[in-house]
Amino acid sequence: MNSADDRRNVRAGHRNGGGTVTGFVHKGHSPHPSLDDSLEGEIRAFLTDEDQLHTYDDLTKVNPVTPTTVLKCLQARYRVKVFYTHAGCTLVALNPFQPIPDLYSLDVMKEYHCASQPQEFKPHIFIVAEEAYRNVQGQLEPVNQSLVVSGESGAGKTWTSRCLMKYYATVAASSSVLKSQDTVERIERRVLDSNPIMEAFGNACTLRNNNSSRFGKYIQLQLDRCQLLVGASVQTYLLEKTRVACQPANERNFHIFYQMMKGATDEQRKEWKMSHDQRFVWLPKAEKTIEEDCFHDTVEAMVHLGINAEKQRQIFKILAGILQLGNVNFSSSTDESQPCNLQEQSKDFLQRAAELLCVPAEELQLCLRVRTLKAGKQSVLKPCSQAECSMRRDCLAKVIYAQLFEWLVTFINNSICADKSTWCNFIGVLDVYGFECFQINNLEQLCINYANEKLQQHFVAHYLRAQQEEYVSEGLQWSFVKYQDNQSCLDLIEGSPVSVFSLLNEESRLNRASDAKTFKVRLEKELCDNVNISWDKFSKVPHFTVAHYAGKVNYQIQGMVEKNKDPVPPELISLLQKSENALLHQIFTDREAENMTSKGLSKVTVVSKFKNSLESLMKILHTTTPHYTRCIKPNPDCKPLTFKKEEVIMQLEACGIVETIHISAAGFPIRIPFKSFMERYGLIAKYSGSKSESHCVDLEALSDDMREVEKLVRVVLQHQGLDPSRCLDGEKHNSWVHCGRTKVFLTQSMLDLLEDQRKRILSQCAFSIQCCWLRYQRRRRQARRQSATLIQAVVRSWLVRRQVQRWNRAAAVIQNTWRKWRALLKSLAEAELDDAKDLVKEDVPVLNPVVRERGSVQLSTIQEPVTVRGWPMGLALASAPSITMSLTATGFQKMMSVMASLNLPSRSGEYKVETNQYTQGVASIRAQPKGSVKLHYQRSPLLYADRQPDLKSDVTGFNEILLEKTL
């Protein structure tokens, strides 16, 4: 049965009843033709000016709100290439099926992120993302956010989720802290690189979508206290592993297999035993090339996430081994007691598969053809039939791929997940498989559609039902808007005590072979009272039909129980645990350890596991603030910019867009408790100069909290120049604000006024704080400057005093030393004067015969040689060559000093001796009897060793006296 026909049937017969609501059109026959006529007239009047329909960026502005008017607006906007439209609390996204330049560029991201009011911009997925991000920044309870992206298969959910992750990786990772910049960029890259890997291993090309997600995922983007991205975690739901071994007609296997076939190098093909001309049974439609067939991107993402070359090599060898398994076929044996025979061409494929999986080929062949039965403590080997051999081959491929996918998810989480202590809030992005209805639907489609039913119920319970019930409980005048509640369908699938899931699990746990007809009879008997299930009595194939919110779907019973059991022969697990492939060995060793530690969990069925995982997901969604994005598929053939009215109208009605618009237009999307409202906006009344008037409402009759809220709201309205009596009125549906019993109900316009006023007051307070702080800093700086000046003056005066004191002490020391020196010189001079008495007593030293022989000259006038003495501080001079000079000195240093001073050339002629008394520092000259001369120098005699007598000039001065005396 065609899915479109099914959905038309369900909408014709399964709409819930309800009271009449103004502005809502029932599809059934109305008892008041005049009202219908007037409504049709309004619709025609609204649709007259079709040139302006594309300007309605919010469908709540459409009047009247009917499926026809909503459809026309969406069609007009799609025609001018505008793909996003607000529908109250929901964003409607139409898939263009072609790239749109600059629609998701970095400049557009920054534009929406930096805007003071993003709602004023044209609708975009970035508005939803920014609203969730600002809710986290504003710490409005509940702080954690969830972005629920829903829609049919091919509507664009995966692309939308990808854009959301890119937005947060760009906005929440823009840190100005240099020390964390490298870490932020690494986290951003790893979070984004998790997408290509998961899409390559979890997405496939189907009839309805080239990149259909064959698993569900909920990605938590973890933020720290500064709202910066520090990590992420991924939760996956129900991978469609049957696609590995069984692909529906005209559909493909998972992307990763085709990427390997088209992107591998010759060296890799040789390693994977995959020649260019080889064809694989499990790779149908291999000639088709799509955008996702990019092997290089997947390998690059693996490298960025930390999967090294050896791990990549092991992964791709496992995948190549799975492909080789698909070409293994069996032929039935003539003897039932003997195992089935391998077809001749399959022996080579089995050998390749064994080598790629690193297991013995004989054991692999044995496990596929023979099963082990346990009878007590004994094991019995029983040959398998041809169908059982094929089933065991498929089971082996599916369990390997499923465990490999689970290992990848765990590795990604370990790579990108942050420590719990480093993050405090998160933004979740939910991307699940869309509603599916094929020619043959089995357990996979039942679980997928069940997940969509749960998400639709979450939307119904959170918005369509809960909000209206809250309006009534809070005292608002409200007329209920009728909507389609799918709770009865959920009760049929998962209800207690009897439901499809409970009966399926009960049948799966029975230790016997299942029979499709018997199970169908039991379903008819147990669930006959539920209107959402039906049977075609004339069909030869056992099946049942479920009326989902999006249409009727026929589910084939054959094979459903076996899929629910999901049995894996233990001998296959034992074989894989012996694999020499390190990754394959690790995966199945860990799996066996988990099964041993978890008692009884090995018998958990597929639907029970999936139901439990969905329930945990719903708990997370209920504790967060949800943001809904409805992706609409404009045409079933995925043609670019093609709009099919029938396809779109069914999706609008199925997901309750029209009802959402009604409630959003008439209701209050923002609801804040009194306490939280006053904590956030109480400062407006405190710092505002306006005084509210209370003559319109009897404030004394209200509670304290409500009275404070009423005053605050009136202050805001009066400050904006608005009439509080018109905007603050619980009996008017177009009022901006309503005070309930415990909460304040606001429209978006009123919330914008409150936020603007709050920002203005916070800016004024911040300005006042800045002024006070600057004044305080100036005063503090001035006081510090004065203190520094005083300290500097004191220090300078102390330094001057200390310097003067040091100078005085130094002068006193110099004076004392000079006086002592003068006294010492005077005493030495007096002690050096010779008199006759001293000379008599003085013992003349005997001249050395050697000195006498070499340097003595006998004078004619004097019998004894003239003796010239040298003292430590003086030198002796002799001026005539006829004088016999004798030198007496003790110590080598004294001798050298005197000899250097007496550098007189032995020449004939006259000598001129200058004592340098005034120019060279001669301190004193003392003449002694018998021709001895003593000179006292202030400096070392070595400084004057180069002084030589001038032969041309006469001897003058004191030396002349000495010469005359000696002669």
Residues 729 and 825: their CA atoms lie apart, in Å, by 119
How much is the mean pLDDT over the chain? 77
**Number of Cβ atoms within 10 Å of the Cβ of 430:** 24
Please give the DSSP secondary-structure letter assigned to residue 210: T
What residue ranges in 706-803 does DSSP mark as E strands? 737-739, 743-746
Residues 797 and 786: their CA atoms lie apart, in Å, by 17
Residues 507 and 519: their CA atoms lie apart, in Å, by 8
Residues 235 and 248: their CA atoms lie apart, in Å, by 27
Element spanning 545, H or E: strand 543-548
Catalytic residue among 436, 444, 494, 507: 436
Instruction: Provide the percentage of residues in the chain whose pLDDT is more than 70.
Output: 73
Question: For position 883, what pLDDT does the model report?
Answer: 36
Per residue in 16-40, pLDDT (tens digit) is 333 322 232 233 333 444 445 555 7
Active site residue 703: no
Q: How many residues does the chain have?
A: 967
Where helices occur in 341-495 by DSSP H, the ranges are 346-357, 361-369, 386-416, 443-459, 466-473, 487-494
pTM above 0.85, yes or no: no
**Number of Cβ atoms within 10 Å of the Cβ of 474:** 19
Do residues 423 and 140 make contact, with C-beta atoms less than 8 angstroms apart?
no
- Sequence ranges of the binding site for ATP: 151-158
Active site residue 209: yes
Active site residue 213: yes
What confidence tier does 169 reach under pLDDT thresholds 50, 70, 90? confident
Do residues 739 and 730 make contact, with C-beta atoms less than 8 angstroms apart?
yes
Look at phi and psi of residue 772 and say left if phi exceeds 0, alpha if psi is from -120 to 50, else beta.
alpha
Higher per-residue pLDDT: 43 or 880: 43
Give the phi and the psi of residue 316 in degrees, each rounded to 5: -70, -30
Catalytic residue among 3, 69, 160, 213: 213
Do residues 121 and 131 make contact, with C-beta atoms less than 8 angstroms apart?
no
Q: Which two tokens stand for residue 492?
A: 């049929």
Closest among 132, 119, 122, 121 to 168, alpha carbons compared: 132
What are the structural domain ranges in the chain? 444-566, 669-691+702-815
- Sequence ranges of the binding site: 151-158
What confidence tier does 922 reach under pLDDT thresholds 50, 70, 90? very low
Please give the DSSP secondary-structure letter assigned to residue 954: P
Catalytic residue among 3, 68, 144, 158: 158
Question: For position 950, what pLDDT does the model report?
Answer: 43
Active site residue 434: yes
873, exposed or middle or buried, with CB in 10 Å at 0-12, 13-18, 19+? middle
Asked if pLDDT for residue 126 goes beyond 80, the answer is yes
Alpha-carbon distances, residue 675 vs 681, 705, 706, 708, 815 (angstroms) = 10, 8, 10, 10, 90
Question: For position 47, what pLDDT does the model report?
Answer: 67
Q: Please give the distance of CA 561 from its chain centroid, rounded to a whole number.
A: 43
Residues 329-334 have a mean pLDDT of 82
Per residue in 213-238, pLDDT (tens digit) is 889 899 999 998 888 888 899 999 88
Do residues 613 and 511 make contact, with C-beta atoms less than 8 angstroms apart?
no
The DSSP bridge partners found for residue 204 are: 212, 254
Catalytic residue among 154, 202, 216, 428: 154
Question: For position 706, what pLDDT does the model report?
Answer: 67
What confidence tier does 720 reach under pLDDT thresholds 50, 70, 90? low
The yes/no answer on whether domain 669-691+702-815 falls in CATH 3.30.70.1590 is: yes
Catalytic residue among 135, 146, 153, 664: 153
Torsion, Cα 620 624 628 629, to 10 degrees, reads -70
Q: Please give the distance of CA 719 from its chain centroid, rounded to a whole number.
A: 42
CATH architecture designation of domain 444-566: Up-down Bundle (1.20)
Look at phi and psi of residue 628 and say left if phi exceeds 0, alpha if psi is from -120 to 50, else beta.
beta
136 Cβ neighbours under 8 A, 6+ residues apart = 143, 144, 145, 223, 227, 425, 427
Q: Point out the least confidently predicted range of 321-335, 348-362, 464-478, 825-839.
A: 825-839
Residues 75-85 have a mean pLDDT of 92
598 Cβ neighbours under 8 A, 6+ residues apart = none
Catalytic residue among 209, 327, 425, 508: 209
Q: Which two tokens stand for residue 9?
A: 């049937």
Residues 678 and 353: their CA atoms lie apart, in Å, by 69
422 Cβ neighbours under 8 A, 6+ residues apart = 222, 224, 230, 231
In the three-class reduction of DSSP (H, G, I as helix; E, B as strand; rest coil), residue 904 is classed as: coil
Residues 940 and 72: their CA atoms lie apart, in Å, by 119
CA quadruple 410, 411, 416, 422: dihedral sign: positive
Q: Which two tokens stand for residue 938?
A: 């202030």
The DSSP bridge partners found for residue 180 are: none
Residues 172-186 have a mean pLDDT of 56
Residue type, 432: V
What residue ranges in 172-285 does DSSP mark as E strands? 203-204, 212-213, 216-223, 229-237
Active site residue 153: yes
Active site residue 721: no
Active site residue 180: no
Give the phi and the psi of residue 536 in degrees, each rounded to 5: -95, 105
Q: Point out the least confidently predicted range of 186-200, 290-304, 638-652, 664-678.
A: 664-678
